[in-house]
Amino acid sequence: MQPTFSSSRILLPVRPWFIYSSLIVALLLNFLPTSNWFGVPDWVALVLCFWSVREFRRVGMGWAFILGLLMDVADGAVLGQHCFAYVLLAYFSTSLSRRLLWFPLFQQALQVLPLLLMTQLIQLLMRLAVGADFPGWSFFVGPFIASLLWIPATFILLLPQYRPVEQNPDRPI
């Protein structure tokens, strides 16, 4: 697989442990005490979306469900709130994956934005339906920042898969 459609470089196969450790790091980033900062993105949603676009055979709705359950307990939210949103996010990003990778990075970020907004909106609707208060429009700033972070996240998360540019003809891989 290539980084984008215009790239002539072919990526190495991904290592499973890298996927799982990146998801755990995202979870740790979410646990940092940043809850009352302005516009902090949902790291788990971003990384989950990235891997379900890139490697939907390895990361899918099952992982989304488990991560959602962990986030629900860590947040003190109602169980099932993040699960539902993340499962839908994983499903839609998997179904978009064929199309998404045909765009350059910035346009990919534009296509990811509605997915991340949907994740927040689903959580908001679930809580509003059972009598919570609207937490303010800053709740929706996170996805915008997260979709901007799609570009650096692509570079960082694909880093172990790049081959060296000068290749030794004696060692083709």
Partner 1 sequence: MAGIDHAPPPFFKRGPAPLALLTFYVLISLAVFVVDLRFRGLDLLRQSIALLVDPVQRVAQTPGSLVDYAANYLQGMQLLQRENDELRHAKLTTAPNLLRLEQLEAENERLRKLLVVNERENAKGQVAQILYTARDPFSRKVIVDKGQQSGIVAGQPAIDEAGVVGQVTRVFPFSSEITLITDKDQAVPVQIVRTGQRSVVFGLGNGQLELRYMPANADVQVGDVLVTSGLDSVYLQGFPVARVVNVERDSAYSFARIFAAPIAGVENFGEVMILDPRQPLPPPPPAAQGRSSDGSDQAGLRPKKKRAAKGN
Residue 143 interacting with partner 1 (CB under 8 A): no
Q: Which of 3, 41, 68, 143 binds partner 1 (CB under 8 A)?
A: 68
Residue 75 interacting with partner 1 (CB under 8 A): yes
Q: Of 71, 58, 62, 56, which Cα lies nearest the Cα of 24? A: 71
Residue 93 interacting with partner 1 (CB under 8 A): no
- The region of 66-74, 102-110, 111-119, 145-153 touching partner 1 under the rule CB under 8 A is 66-74
What sign for the dihedral angle of Cα 27, 93, 95, 57?
negative
Q: Of 115, 85, 88, 87, which Cα lies nearest the Cα of 100? A: 115
Q: Which of 6, 130, 137, 172 binds partner 1 (CB under 8 A)?
A: 130
Angle between helices 43-54 and 61-75 (to 10 degrees): 180
Q: Two tokens at 71?
A: 């986030």
Residues in touch with partner 1 (CB under 8 A) = 27-28, 30-33, 35-36, 60-62, 64-65, 68-70, 73-81, 83-84, 87-88, 91, 94-95, 126-127, 130-133, 135, 139
